[in-house]
Amino acid sequence: MNEEILMVAESVSNEKDLPKDTIFEAIELALASAAKKRYDNDVDIKVYIDRDTGDFETFRCWTAVDFEEYESSDIHILADSDLADEKGLKEGDIDKEQIENPEFGRIAAQAAKQVIVQKVRDAERLEIIKKFRPYIGTLVNGTVKKVTREFIIVDLGDNAEASLSRRDLVQGEIYRIGDRIKGILGETERENRGSQLVLSRSANEMVVELFKLEVPEIAEEVIQIRAVARDSGARTKIAVKTNDVRIDPVGACVGMKGSRIHGIVRELRNENIDVINYTENTQLLLSRSLSPAKISSIKIDDENKKVDVD
């Protein structure tokens, strides 16, 4: 049995290009799942495999908890009970009782296989996410792989996929399988599914990253984007400034005859984009932001972070 465990860990590790320890953890979970079937109630079982010899031991466990976390004597011990005092347990400690090992060979074709497969999938997904984490918050390219009522699944390459919720699309956008697509890469935690890569085209960062692509002065930090307000699919206001008096930041962002900003507008399905000069003068900045509307008065409530405009 020990040799069989080592052989499975070796072969699956090589086949999936995953650390052996990940496979050992999957086998431990599978063996624990098999051992639990001996009990009528929900119990906590832990299996520990020696990574060198393949020997393993199985333990039934009880965790010492306070009264509010206590659920059942099958898995918990009250930390302030006489039993906990007798065993020298404090809150958070685990009491173990060694039990008979389950048969690995008997369960290999049943629970073990399913647990190992799921664990391997989770590990593969985590490895992919680790590779893409340096790009979180940046603009990435992909290809539409699948379209559902709620999500678009995007192939990012290197076996990576990201989901794009329809609420994170620019209003009115329609994509079909095979279309190229850009979006801001993010990561989210989904219940029972762990970390997932996600995309957004409605985020403010989408406009910022597109300007970095189209305007070299922004990418080189000669021009700074100081503020962005966006109603995705309708209008974006972006405030820019530069410390180089020789450069007109608004003109540089727009480009000759709008050559630079037109590419951004097309990417965002004709979303209106207004570029304004940033200033520390809040009233002047607000007046510029609300242009072309004519402003007669601006009242700023700093305490409640509100502005009344007439």
Give residue limits of the domains in the chain: 2-121, 136-200, 204-278
* Backbone phi and psi for residue 289, each to the nearest 5 degrees, phi listed first: -65, -35
CA 212, CA 224: separation in Å to the nearest integer? 10
pLDDT in tens, 120-167: 777 778 888 888 999 999 999 999 999 998 899 999 988 889 999 999
Q: Taking the domain 2-121, which CATH number applies?
A: 3.30.1480.10
Distance CA 33, CA 103 (A): 11
Q: What is the DSSP letter of 1?
A: -
Q: And the tokens for 247?
A: 């450069």
Q: 105 falls in which pLDDT band (50, 70, 90)? A: low
User: Which neighbouring-strand residues pair with 236?
Assistant: 230, 273
Q: What is the mean pLDDT of residues 77-100?
A: 92
Q: Which residues contact 229 (CB under 8 A, 6 or more apart)?
A: 204, 236, 237, 238, 289
φ, ψ at 167 (rounded to 5°): -75, -15
Helices (H), 53-183: 82-87, 104-107, 113-132
| CATH number given to 204-278 | 3.30.300.20
Task: Please provide the DSSP assignment of 153-185 as one string.
Answer: EEEEETTEEEEEEGGGSPTT----TT-EEEEEE
CATH match for 136-200 among 2.40.50.140, 3.40.50.880, 3.40.50.300, 3.20.20.70: 2.40.50.140
pLDDT band at 115 (very low <50, low <70, confident <90, very high): low
Span of 89-98, 101-110, 211-220, 235-244 with lowest mean pLDDT: 101-110
User: What is the share, in percent, of the chain residues with pLDDT greater than 70?
Assistant: 94
Distance CA 87, CA 94 (A): 10
Please report the DSSP string for 201-259 in residue order.
SSSHHHHHHHHHHH-HHHHTTSEEEEEEEEETTTEEEEEEEES-TT--HHHHHH-GGGH
Q: Are 288 and 276 in contact (CB under 8 A)?
A: yes
Whether the per-residue pLDDT at 113 is higher than 80: the answer is: no
